[in-house]
Chains A and B, each alone.
Chain A
Amino acid sequence: MRKIKTTIATLTMVLALSACTDLSEKLYDKVSSSDYGKTATEIETIVGSAYASLRGFSDGITISYPTSEFLFFCNETTSDEACIPTRGSDWYDGGRYQDAEMHTWKSDNMLMLSSWRYCYEGISKVNAVIYQVKQSTLSDEEKATVYAELRGIRAYYYYILLDMFGNVPLITNFEDTSLPKNSTRAEVYAFVESELLDILDLLPSEIIYGRFTQNVANTLLARLYLNSEVYIGKARWQDCIDACDKVSGYTLESNYFTNFLTENEVSSEIIFAIPYDYTKQGTVGNYLIALSLHYKQKQAVSASSTFTDCVNGICAQPGVYSMFDDKDVRKKEFFAGDQISKATGSVILMDNGNALSYTEDIANFFNAEQNEGVRCVKYEVKEGQTWEQDHDLVVMRYAEILMMKAECYIRLGSPALARPLVAQVRTRAGLDTPADVTLDFLDDELLREFCFEGLRRTANIRMGTFLKPNWVKTSTDDDYRLIFPIPKYAMDMNSNLVQNPGY
């Protein structure tokens, strides 16, 4: 009997140990979303994450950076401005850059997918932040002000989608977990316009660097109206001029390259920029310089070779460099001809023993020599730079306002009103302006002023040159190439999505 009691008592005690069954996770270095966003400062840090999203991301699936890989590449290498030649097996990468140049891309192209994911990652983040702010204790008025900036950032992402993919799903509610359907390009257009108009008065009216202000909203509206004919088949030139006129407080920098200094936040011309600071803040994704220059360029920059490794990729398409007059100060943005070693004073030799001398011509796009193609690097290049750069990415600057207005005046039949605007830009470049400013002239000037700033594909489409033969692409494309295909990757995961016509 005693033994039975003993046994029972022991078993009971062993079971008593089972009191410890609490399995909740204790957070130490992270915070639960339901515990955060209570104070105005905390809200500010959450809104900050929406701004941080503008720098993009790389997650093993895509490299979604706005500076280079692949959003920038997508808009540049499909245009008449830039190309990424295949050099041996280098930069072949499954033919993605050849497809961009030849306009033979398919829905599985990495350039387009990366751009798509850049936008939707940002949109998801903004929607989540809006939801988070909604849960906070801020007053409705305070919330509306916070929402305004967030909606502005979201409208910026949707504008990119409208421009590149056209018929994309519109999602504005974080809590909606259903699989979205495409909206038409017109619906996306209407959404971007109404959002921007709706928030305009709630946005900061002053100039705040790097923030979504009224000036930024108006510049984005101007872009929307300028391309309205392409987007919805309805020209809105005067609306563009009106939006441009609402942008105030900026001047052209006397030195063109002030816009592209490492410390380019000093520029009085920049309307919207995505700030970077690798050295102090560790921001990443800003490495176009290294992707463009030759492997041995570091010897030309620094006697002790203290400069980033470079990987010899994107360069100007043949014909671009010679469009610049020798007097044009903007021509300094190109690396062309012999590259001289800082240490020896003589020409740098490439691995094959030939001189590193960038040529404008590229004899064979499909198997180019290492030194073919001049390099367009407008941002500051100096000794000690690493792969990641500190300069901010210029998204909108005042010269664009002048040029947009000029284009609209020409389109409206008043080239005389356009000329002084173009002249401002030309004068700064050290050039005269012809008496007659035609649309063709303006198209070339857009290339010269905004070369390698990511605007060229949109301009080509607006000017009607995008589908036409262009260098190695000798045929004319079908109209459907004016927008990119919905990426296969996204379609595979969402059966509600419908592919763009033609793809």
Chain B
Amino acid sequence: MKKNKYIPIFIIQAVMLFVGLIFLNVNSYAQKTASIKVSGVVVDQSENPLPGATIIVHGTTTGVVTDVDGKFQISCAKGSTLDISFVGYKNSSVVANEENVKVILQESFVTLGETVVVGVGYGTMRKSDLTGAIASVGTEEMKKGVISSSEQLLQGKVAGLTVIQGSGDPASGASLRLRGGTSLTASNGPLIVVDGIAGVDINTVNPSEIVSMDVLKDASASAIYGSRGANGVIIVTTNRSNKGKVMQYQGYVAVGSVLKNLDMLSANQWRQYVREKEVTSAVDYGGNTDWQKELEQTAVSHSHSVLFSNSGEKNGFRVSANYLYNEGVIKRTSLDRLGASISGFQYGLKDKLKMEVGLNANVDTWHPLNDLIYERMLNLSPVIPVYNPDGSFTKIGGTKYDNPVEINTNRTADNTRHRVLGYGKIELEIIKGLKAYANGSYEYNSLQTRLYNPSYSVMGASDKGFGQRTLADYTTMQLETYLTYDKKFNEDNKINLMAGYSYLDNTYEGYGAQRKGFDTDLFEYNNLAAGIDYSASDVYSYKGEAKLISFYGRANYNFKEKYMFTATLRRDGSSRFGANHKWGLFPSASFAWRVSDESFMEGTRGWLNNLKLRAGYGVTGNQDGVGEYKSLDILGTGSATYYDGNTQTWKQSYGPTQNSNPDLKWESTAQLNVGLDFSVVGRVNGTLEVYQKKTSDLLYTYAVPQPPYLVGTMLANVGDLSNKGIELSLNANLINKGGFNWDVNLTLAKNIQKVEKLSNQTYECDSINSGSLHGLTGMSGKFSQVIKTGYAVGTFVGPKCTGLDSLGKFILADNGANQVLGDVQPKLSFGFGTNLSYKNIDLEISTYGMLGQKVLNCTAMELSNPKRLPTNNTTDLIYKTGITSSMTYSSYWVEDASFLRIQSVSLGYTLKAPKIGLEKVRFYVTGENLFVFTNYTGVDPEVSIDGLDTPGMDWFNAYPRPRTFSFGINVSF
């Protein structure tokens, strides 16, 4: 029971805080005046009623929302001021002296986006007050179509944020990378904060519940998350605060098929080759098989979600449930997700106390593939039939030559993942402007895998059946307590202060069991004891824990809405850090100046609606690369058993497994960002950001001399890496007239990455080999890339090929001497979208792309080798190019992978029929991944650039990305 010894203390402290605050504050609010009941209507300039506008009694939390006809009623003290606000309109206020009022709101296209409230971590800010680089994506801009992973919502929407869906597997997620990577060892993904809870698995939240995602791009914005902020922070806000009664259904049906297959020789081409080359010994099995197509299917997916909520100003609840069946384009793959969430809030203590609790849960079920099928489907000759005449699978046999349809069919693999996120939040106004918050959360993520390879399958034959089950649990408990204080001194000075403490405990544990030698295949993985063969390593369990403790604070100062300053400071302590560096300090400061409000800008008001200059500097960290226990001097068992000749038995040995490193710590990234927000001619908004960031104390597993070191490698903080770049986002409203509206948006980002150094006094490293070619024929232990001072991560190095000679052999320049052949980093990333609507019809097109990144087409390099014939298949490149050489790594296969992807085209129709009780119905058809414009010759130019093993390398094991058409309906009752 020691495990949770801090939790009770927390609870006691939280309760103390809470009780103490109430006690001290009990009488501070008491005044009474004559009250008045005001009835009114809110309309726009054209007298159209505005439903959903907010009316708040100034200086209180009392407020109401206008109904469908724009009407409202509110009781307040006579003479008090009513603040009326509505998104897209300028705020207005009236004094409550009369019982009937009419408020006309002025449209404010210019400040659309400026009035948006943006999550900044431990609070929100108006976008207009921001000093850091934060990009927001609202529901309208998010990607449409089949979404099984919420990261996809951001694809092409934020300048500088790369979202790579490396695989079409419905069970796989996307990888995110902001402004280039900052680490060689650790994850380069941003920290995800869901409704104030940091580090949440984004897939705990149903994508349809997400209303906004705010991307904290620069260090001055993300430094409030300290040692977890170096790769940026994405603040996800879900749909918790629906006002009024809402009942919604959202659903779609989608049909997906493979966009592109690799051009392999067909059976006829194979036969032609054999005839032409007079390969008399070639065996023709009489088949006519396209192995890729044999494994593929047309995928039919569907999704449904329902939501009820009933919320007022003082209390409310929300319940939602969703189901997704996402079928994969490879047979037997699919993802089932069943999820639900419930939340509610209520005010008490004269509206000074708000409590909120919520629970999200979902269950994923999917069927993982055996990755071997990708290689096999390209290896097998097209003249081999899939089935024998008697219906059994053909088994020609040979190394890497198993029937992939057999592998995919004769196999049971069922994985499930349970995710639960529960939280409770307390918000207390202590005195006017001073609020205390306490948020507690519990996140549980449990993965179960189940596998059975039957004894009659090729994969299970030598084991006589192989069954396996594993369980891996991750539990995160967090407590955040913080105070905020808002104060206005005369009208010109606004301050906002925040200070807090957080405690995070992360525990992982798991176990697994497997057995072989099943006399019957009937049990599958459900009765492992039926397998009689087992070995010592067939059963295992593990457990580990990490703690993160933080203190943080932020101060904002706003003078005349023209000059804004922000400073933050965070102190993070992690159990994972070495004894000499348990605590790290992460400061930031930023400043913004609304130039357009200066008197000297009077002359520009006609066309320049807003011009704001921002500058910020901050230091953030990345602690993902430091695993648990990595700094310690420990003994482990590993798989090191030994034979004891005395007893003639095998025994477990315990030995040192790593070098201790008490200096181990986070990677530190210092970033300077200068930004410019502007809006001109009332129609065009934009943001330009320029940044420079330098990561130091880069973590890498260095080779160390052995002895004196115990183990030949050691995780240490040594190198430096820099990224600098420029980003532009533009939104323009081209037409807004007579019910016709046309918006376009564009994002552009350029990032230049460079490794600055890899050595210090203790550790010396000239260059690191990466991009392993191990596994390709004749390439064992060979690398295609290098990480070297002065170059970007993932720089290809190899012989330069100048073409093919008349015999079809590669001509290598300089006798095949190694040269730099480009790198995997995109030179320019862009996203372009447009939104057209006319009355009830809307059309949205969204595209994105990258320019200048190189991809090593390993697939073609290995497969375009005529020596593979007649047994193995080749790509039809051997016909198109006449290659006769056997496989050689050279620039020939390092291709420019620039592309433009038509990500989605969505046509919608919205129907409003309040008379029959349907508030709003929207029908849409969406085509996804429709076209890819590229010169890249492989299946897909978008290749994952994560990690050091195979970044930017098109390898066989790529699940093809589907082209999908979906039909959906959203109904609000």
Show the binding face of A for B, using Cβ within 8 Å.
2-3, 5-7, 9-11, 13-34, 36, 42, 44-53, 59, 61, 63, 86, 88-94, 110, 117, 120-121, 123-125, 127-129, 169, 171, 174, 176-180, 208-211, 265, 275, 277-284, 295-296, 298-299, 304-311, 349, 351-354, 384, 386, 489-490, 492-494
Contacts and interface: CB of A to CB of B under 8 A. Distances in A.
Nearest to A35: B635
Given A6-B24, A10-B436, A306 B462 contact: yes
B852 to A, nearest CB: 30
B501 interface: yes
Given A18-B501, A25-B628, A351-B872, A117 B706 contact: yes
Interface in B506-561: 509, 533-538, 541-547, 549, 551
Given A25-B575, A25-B576, A349-B281, A90 B634 contact: no
B870 A23 contact: no
A311 B9 contact: no
Contact of A171 (B500, B639, B645, B707): B707
Given A90-B777, A490-B705, A492-B766, A48 B653 contact: yes
A4 B258 CA distance: 67
A284 B536 CA distance: 13
Contacts of B314: none
15 contacts: A6-B25, A11-B483, A13-B13, A23-B575, A27-B634, A30-B629, A44-B651, A48-B644, A49-B655, A93-B779, A120-B707, A209-B643, A210-B643, A280-B536, A493-B764
Contacts of A42: 654
Contact of B279 (A179, A353, A494): A353
Contacts of B499: 11, 14
A10 B20 contact: yes
A169 to B, nearest CB: 8
Nearest to B782: A94
Contacts of B636: 30-31
Given A17-B481, A25-B575, A61-B712, A127 B654 contact: no
Contacts of A10: 17, 20-21, 24, 430, 434, 436, 483
Nearest to B868: A351
B629 to A, nearest CB: 6
A113 to B, nearest CB: 10
A19 B12 CA distance: 13
A399 B887 CA distance: 45
Given A51-B642, A309-B399, A17 B501 contact: yes
Given A295-B398, A311-B399, A20 B635 contact: no
Contacts of B654: 31, 36, 42, 45-46, 48-49
Contact of A3 (B28, B538, B551, B633): B28
Contacts, number: 296
Nearest to B462: A306
A479 to B, nearest CB: 28
Select the residue from B13, B281, B656 with max chain A CB neighbours within 10 A.
Answer: B656
A392 B452 CA distance: 31
Contacts of B501: 14-15, 17-18
B708 A179 contact: yes
A30 B710 contact: no
Contacts of B617: none
Given A25-B628, A25-B629, A29-B544, A305 B395 contact: yes
Interface in B627-671: 628-629, 632-636, 639-646, 648, 650-657
B574 A128 contact: no
Given A51-B643, A209-B645, A349-B281, A32 B632 contact: yes
A22 B505 CA distance: 12
A24 B10 CA distance: 19
A179 B634 CA distance: 23
A88 B867 contact: yes
Interface string B467-508: 000000000000001110000000000000001110100000
A295 to B, nearest CB: 4
Contacts of A353: 279-283, 870
Contact of A280 (B573, B650, B652): B650
B886 A211 contact: no
Nearest to B631: A25
Contact of B778 (A90, A121, A210): A90
A146 to B, nearest CB: 14
Contacts of A311: 399
Contacts of A490: 705
Contacts of A49: 640, 642, 653-656
A309 B634 contact: no
Interface string B848-875: 0000000000000000010100111000
Nearest to A25: B575
Given A17-B13, A93-B779, A278 B872 contact: no
Nearest to A312: B399
A96 B10 CA distance: 61
A492 B782 contact: no
B147 to A, nearest CB: 37
A90 B872 CA distance: 15
B130 to A, nearest CB: 26
A92 B712 CA distance: 27
A275 B644 CA distance: 9
Query: Across chains A and B, which 4 residue pairs bring their CB atoms closest together, nearest first?
Result: A353-B281, A49-B655, A48-B653, A351-B871
Given A51-B653, A176-B708, A352 B713 contact: no
Given A309-B399, A349-B283, A208 B779 contact: no
Contact of A275 (B549, B551, B643, B779): B643
